[in-house]
Amino acid sequence: MRIATYNINGVKARIETVLAWLDDSAPDVALLQEIKSVDEAFPRAPFEERGYNVETHGQKGFNGVAILSKRPLEDVTRGLPGDAGDEQARWIEATVMGARAVRICGLYLPNGNPAPGPKYDYKLAWMARLEARAKALLESEEPVVMAGDYNVIPQDEDAARPEAWASDALALPRTRAAFRRIVNLGYTEAFRARVQGPGHYSFWDYQAGAWSRNDGIRIDHLLLSPQAADLMTECRIEAEQRGREKPSDHVPVWVTLDA
């Protein structure tokens, strides 16, 4: 089972880019972020024509997450637990049925800038809720994959120019500590379990020739429960997708599980 995460930066603006990627890479499950569409306006048909079941948690104009799955989906839930008043569409989860059922969580973690300030406070509070949900998911003792745009640069080697991000909400010490607390519950950060060292990025700004200079950061992650990590056979960043016509500023990252 190939599970991909991809911040598409607007489904209507980049639908042809996303469809071409699906045709080329054919993931079994695709977790999309920043669909920027309400549920009823999401263009389901071209995805369904490619054999995908579609579940969305949308919001007009910004945010929004979706699950595309070629396998049946069960027990779909929307919204990260812990704050009934949170109206931002940033979390969706479902069980993907296959040779082994896998609980899939798609997330779009808040950016948090400017920091300090209310947006950063919201980011940290959201991460605390994520930690609580991650802990609860581990108690199921089932394969769990939490994947998406975390808006976290875990360590300096995950940025081409770490000094440029030192005061950014994505790399502040409290952000990194919150991310480590989640991983240290017992999760495996899939990409770093397979690939070490600098130079591996999943986001390049549209400005100042960042892509051509490989001035990127790695902020799209897949965290695996021990049961899912035992099934992992491969993990890869599809950096070449940034070279497509009308690309997102992110590229897909995927993991393959023997499930």
**pLDDT value, residue 80:** 98
Q: Write down the catalytic residue from 6, 52, 120, 149.
A: 149
Q: Is 187 a catalytic residue?
A: no
pLDDT at 50 over 90: yes
Q: Is 122 a catalytic residue?
A: no
What are the pLDDT digits (tens) for 157-189? 999 999 999 999 999 999 999 999 999 999 999
Which alpha helices (H) appear in the chain, and where do they start and end? Answer: 15-25, 45-49, 118-138, 173-183, 190-194, 226-229
**pLDDT value, residue 208:** 85
Identify the CA nearest to 110 among candidates 123, 92, 120, 121: 123
pLDDT grade, residue 207 (50/70/90)?
very high
Task: Return the residue matching tokens 């790695």.
Answer: 218
Identify the CA nearest to 57 among candidates 84, 89, 87: 89
pLDDT grade, residue 256 (50/70/90)?
very high
pLDDT grade, residue 132 (50/70/90)?
very high
Q: Write down the catalytic residue from 6, 28, 52, 108.
A: 108
Neighbours of 97 (CB within 10 A): 14
Neighbours of 177 (CB within 10 A): 11
Identify the CA nearest to 34 among candidates 4, 13, 16: 13
Mean pLDDT across the stretch 93-99?
95
**Strand pairing class (216-217; 53-57):** unpaired
